[in-house]
Structure 1
Amino acid sequence: MTAMLITDIGELTTNVGVPGDPCGTMTDAAVLVEGARIAWVGTAAEARRFLHPSASDAPEIGGAPLEVVDAGGRAVVPGFVDSHTHLVFGGDRADEFAARMSGTPYAAGGIRRTVAATRAASDDELRRRLAGFVAELHAQGTTTFEIKTGYGLTVHDEARLARLASEVTSEVTFLGAHVVPAEYAEARDEYVELVCGAMLERCAPHSRWIDVFCERGAFTPDESRRVLAAGIAHGLLPRVHGNQLGPGDGVQIAVALGAASVDHCTYLDEADVAALAGSDTVATLLPGVEFSTRQPYPDARRLIDAGVTVALASDCNPGSSFTSSMPLMIALAVREMRMTPAEAVWAATAGGARALRRDDVGAIAPRMRADLVLLDAPTRVHLAYRPGVPLVDAVWKDGVRL
């Protein structure tokens, strides 16, 4: 088993909450990693006991050589947890983005363009592109991520997207209910039946989650309930796209079904906020969408002050948010959604873990996975203070440097 000691950490974000500081901030800190897990967290002074008294270049912990990493007074945060992405697809929709920037409103219908391009792409083409996106995520500090299907919308294509996604993450979401494909435009009931039947049967073995786009232009509340119920009956856990383009029933449906998260949450009324605050359902906010569509940003401050658990995610997809950068999500959340830097970093790490119902990532504490990010900055505040600057200096996933 390998061992690593990261020491001289100027600011350590543990996310082990203390009153007034959910980030559990430590200064002059150190972290000991054994294999894929964190073994110990403490001060740099205390960490000296792990060093071999003979001043060897390779001191040992439990018989294993100890690698010592000097953080040089810089900040360390947990690996980012991106709980909402759409990374398996073909094609490009840059022209739509340019049109939106010229005043054309965003609408869900553009998804069908990506569906056509994805169906036409081979497995190898999709796999190569997916590998590139995963490399992007890792380079920007994301160590845990979810991937949705939803760009195939046939039994064969949804199953292959789920299979390809499962090659790179355990957090796969079946999203056959993304939009109704063009060939079923006059037969919505038949498509919903397909999603709940043969498509679900093929995708469930590769998936952990079931999702639905409960929105005008996508699926009605009744259709959404039907899809989610079918997924739950197959052992999948529910999550919901909701309240993105206008007021709707997405939040209420998510809470009623005990969904892990409801994502977007742009248009909420008081009943929606109260329902979220009284539940375990996470409100996952996706500021990259608002940046790319010029829609209003969600009011994170309102949600947090009401006691709602908030996560941040990228929603990386070719139509409404073609970015894989969690540091950008943090900067946008602070600038546009009235979150503090500490709240935004927590939401991008521990919040994302809660949205995925994971208790092994999103924090730096003994027995957690050793997913760590060393920033080229003295504090996590720089993630919002210096937007667009590549501040991620090193990333470890399960104790291995990427």
Structure 2
Amino acid sequence: MTTTVVTNIGSLVTNDPALGEGPLGLIKDAAVVFDSTGTGTGKITWVGPATHAPAADTAYDARGRAAIPGFVDSHSHLVFAGDRTQEFNARMSGKPYTAGGIRTTVAATRAASDADLDANVRRYVSEALRQGTTTIETKSGYGLTPHDEARALRIAAAHTPETTYLGAHIVAPEYADDPAAYVELVTGPMLEACAPYARWVDVFCERGAFDGDQAREILTAGQKRGLIPRVHANQLGHGPGVQLAVELGAASADHCTHLTQADVDALAGSGTVATLLPGAEFSTKAEYPDARRLLDAGATVALSTDCNPGSSFTTSVPFCIAVAVRDMGMTPDEAVHAATLGGAKALRRADVGRISPGARADLALLDAPSHVHLAYRPGVPLVSAVWRGGVPELV
């Protein structure tokens, strides 16, 4: 095991108020020391002023640049094949978004080989890493048969431990006339095939997908198999998704675009994280969620990409930060916090999303003097170095 010190950090976001200023725990002229095992399990051992940094085996000079925790993207759909460019083009020409386009990706994904699906996941995880994402969740949901859902999760599990069973993405095309039978499949043989490869269970609780009663049945079946719920909730309109997520103790309610005051109060009074996904609204020309309303109420907010081929084909957390600041009422500090520690809370992870002793050594260095530049300079590739678990992935 070796140790590394990253020194001369102009501005360091720790997300630990005990270490620095404000909710972000900001430290000026900082240094970080971490172990590096070479296996991605390195831990942070020291954080503080650069002038007080202990000696280490190797040193990296940040040259006054800002550093932040690696982004935690707690919502993505990376196991898919095919392309929906024509759908996007039509939507940008005035056609409204509905959940039905998912069927196009289902057909392509079922026809793809394991090798092709694995290559796609590897590509998008690598793409996200280059933009500072060191922890990523991803879901099944484009197979919709026991075999195809299980293989999607098996492939995903080779790239991340944060895998989510989403057999309840939409009703499979062959069950269009008998959704009750599909729910039986999702809660029975499909769940049994998928549970060994998943940590989470999710459902698209929305018109055109699954109603509240169906969603409850699916999520509780998953809980009985040891999976933790998360819910696609209140994206396309008002509905029961948020209340159901809180009722079942879900880790997160994701989208949260259309909320009643009762929904906001429920989230604020619970441990369920409101995960906001502005890439979806950007790509569908829809109304953005009101982050300010949630934050002012005291809800915990996460910010993630929702990377998927139909409604949010981006792996860029910095892009989502810029949109959240411009259009969702978040300050730059709040957006960075939501994209790091907020995402960690949505995944119930205490080891990521922060730069403090004992955390996994996930660190992104920005070619900028402050984290505020992530919103201030939208579209600019500011991430210049990344360590994940103490391993230099982009240095």
User: 2:359 aligns to what SS in structure 1?
Assistant: coil
User: 2:30 aligns to what SS in structure 1?
Assistant: strand
1:378 aligns with 2:372: no
Superimposed CA distance per residue, residues 42-71 of structure 1 (whole angstroms, 9 cap, x where no aligned partner): 101101xx33xxxxxxxxx4xxxx110111
Aligned length: 387
Superimposed CA distance per residue, residues 363-392 of structure 1 (whole angstroms, 9 cap, x where no aligned partner): 000010000000000000000000000000
Number of the residue aligned with 1:46:
52
TM-score, with structure 1 as normaliser: 0.95
Number of the residue aligned with 1:57:
none
Superimposed CA distance per residue, residues 174-218 of structure 1 (whole angstroms, 9 cap, x where no aligned partner): 000000011001111110000000000010000000000000000
Identity %: 64
Residue type at the aligned position of 2:15: N
User: 1:129 aligns to what SS in structure 2?
Assistant: helix
CA distance in 2, matches of 1:330, 1:20: 21
Query: Which sits farther off after the overlay, 13-22 or 291-300?
Result: 13-22
Residue type at the aligned position of 2:98: A
**Aligned counterpart in structure 1 of residue 380 of structure 2, from 389, 392, 397:** 389
User: 1:239 aligns to what SS in structure 2?
Assistant: strand
Number of the residue aligned with 2:62:
71
The offset of 1:20, in angstroms, is 7.7
The offset of 1:34, in angstroms, is 1.4
CA distance in 1, matches of 2:349, 2:219: 21
CA RMSD of aligned residues (A): 0.9
Number of the residue aligned with 1:26:
27
CA distance in 2, matches of 1:129, 1:275: 38
Q: Does the aligned pair in 1 maintain the 2:230–2:252 contact within 8 Å?
A: yes
CA distance in 2, matches of 1:232, 1:315: 23
The offset of 1:339, in angstroms, is 0.3
1:16 aligns with 2:16: yes
1:7 aligns with 2:7: yes
User: 1:21 aligns to what SS in structure 2?
Assistant: coil
CA distance in 1, matches of 2:21, 2:248: 32
Number of the residue aligned with 2:96:
105
1:365 aligns with 2:352: no
CA distance in 2, matches of 1:92, 1:2: 44
CA distance in 2, matches of 1:21, 1:101: 41
Superimposed CA distance per residue, residues 342-383 of structure 1 (whole angstroms, 9 cap, x where no aligned partner): 000000000000000000000000010000000000000000
CA distance in 2, matches of 1:8, 1:128: 38
The offset of 1:130, in angstroms, is 1.1
Number of the residue aligned with 1:281:
272
Superimposed CA distance per residue, residues 220-250 of structure 1 (whole angstroms, 9 cap, x where no aligned partner): 1000000000000000000000100000000
1:231 aligns with 2:237: no
Superimposed CA distance per residue, residues 17-54 of structure 1 (whole angstroms, 9 cap, x where no aligned partner): 3698211111010000113000000101101xx33xxx
1:260-275 matches, cutoff 5 A: 260-275=251-266
- Structure 1 runs not aligned, ≥5 long: 52-60
CA distance in 2, matches of 1:17, 1:362: 13
1:3-402 matches, cutoff 5 A: 3-17=3-17, 21-35=22-36, 36-47=42-53, 50-51=54-55, 61=56, 66-402=57-393
The runs of 4+ residues in structure 1 deviating greater than 4 Å are none
The offset of 1:287, in angstroms, is 0.2
User: 1:30 aligns to what SS in structure 2?
Assistant: strand
- Structure 2 runs not aligned, ≥5 long: 37-41
Residue type at the aligned position of 2:31: A
User: 1:289 aligns to what SS in structure 2?
Assistant: helix
